[in-house]
Amino acid sequence: KAGVTQTPRYLIKTRGQQVTLSCSPISGHRSVSWYQQTPGQGLQFLFEYFSETQRNKGNFPGRFSGRQFSNSRSEMNVSTLELGDSALYLCASSLGAGRSLETQYFGPGTRLLVL
Amino acid sequence: AQSVTQLDSQVPVFEEAPVELRCNYSSSVSVYLFWYVQYPNQGLQLLLKYLSGSTLVKGINGFEAEFNKSQTSFHLRKPSVHISDTAEYFCAVSVSLLGNAGNMLTFGGGTRLMVKP
């Protein structure tokens, strides 16, 4: 099976712009979660989608949003970019049965640099 | 709310020496515990997980971890490390809740393992 894929792998934007990142989960996985990784804050949970609905949300401002399509692919959007949004954005997929013991499988990430 | 503390931000060790990476967690409910490894410029790869049962869990690449409920710890160990084990290691917890609680990991700050020849 192919793993979790994320596009693009690298992205450079300027302050005030918006960005959309894409994640394709492992075939058969219905849950997609997004995490932000920065040197200062470490790995932080952004949100989780299951069956096109947001099931969990982390403590991030409304500029961060996401969605999930019927084929389980997910996108996250960050509007009005700030310098502090520079990070590695990781996507993870799991079967999505709704149990916290499920293993999440991570993609390689999208590295976003905001200038 | 739950939290995870990785007590060492960096652990230097010589090749073929044993290593222990420490992880402590805090939670008011039962947790599931995971160790992930991140190699440079890559995503996270699952090393091992504790869900229930035996407190000693064996994972990939010769790693193992022991769940200690009384000390709320889940330390990662390897008896003999290789240069290729140089990476960042993350401990994570997921809480056990009834119902369709979804899937959300809380991570520790990470430990950089540096294996020297």
Residue closest to B49 by CA, chosen among B61, B64, B28: B64
pLDDT grade for B10, boundaries at 50, 70 and 90: very high
Q: Is the pLDDT of residue A9 over 60?
A: yes
Give DSSP secondary structure letters for B24-64: EEE-SS-EEEEEEEE-TT--EEEEEEE-SS-SEEE-GGG-E
Percent of chain B with pLDDT over 90: 73
Phi and psi of B70, rounded to 5°? -65, -35
User: Looking at residue B96, what is its pLDDT?
Assistant: 63
Pairing label, strands B111-116, B10-14: parallel
User: Looking at residue B94, what is its pLDDT?
Assistant: 86
Residue closest to B110 by CA, chosen among B39, B56, B58, B49: B39
Q: Is the pLDDT of residue B51 over 90?
A: no
Q: Which two tokens stand for residue B27?
A: 């939670």
Taking an 8 Å cut-off on Cβ atoms, the answer to whether A94 and B109 are in contact is no
User: Looking at residue B27, what is its pLDDT?
Assistant: 83
pLDDT grade for B5, boundaries at 50, 70 and 90: very high
Cβ neighbours of A109 in B, within 8 Å: 42-43
Cβ neighbours of B105 in A, within 8 Å: 33, 35, 43, 45, 92, 104
Distance from CA of A100 to the nearest CA of B (A): 5
Q: Is the pLDDT of residue A32 over 60?
A: yes
pLDDT in tens, B75-114: 999 999 999 999 999 999 987 665 555 678 899 999 999 9
Distance from CA of A113 to the nearest CA of B (A): 14
User: Looking at residue A71, what is its pLDDT?
Assistant: 94
Cβ neighbours of B4 in A, within 8 Å: none
- The mean predicted confidence, pLDDT, of chain B is 91
Cβ neighbours of A98 in B, within 8 Å: 99-103
Q: Is the pLDDT of residue A87 over 90?
A: yes
Taking an 8 Å cut-off on Cβ atoms, the answer to whether B103 and A58 are in contact is no
Interface of B with A (CB under 8 A): 32, 34, 36, 41-46, 49, 51, 90, 92, 94-97, 99-110
Is the four-CA dihedral A9, A75, A102, A26 of positive or negative sign?
A: negative
Percent of chain A with pLDDT over 90: 82
Distance from CA of B45 to the nearest CA of A (A): 7
User: Looking at residue B20, what is its pLDDT?
Assistant: 98
Among A35-44, A97-106, B33-42, the range scoring the smallest mean pLDDT is: A97-106
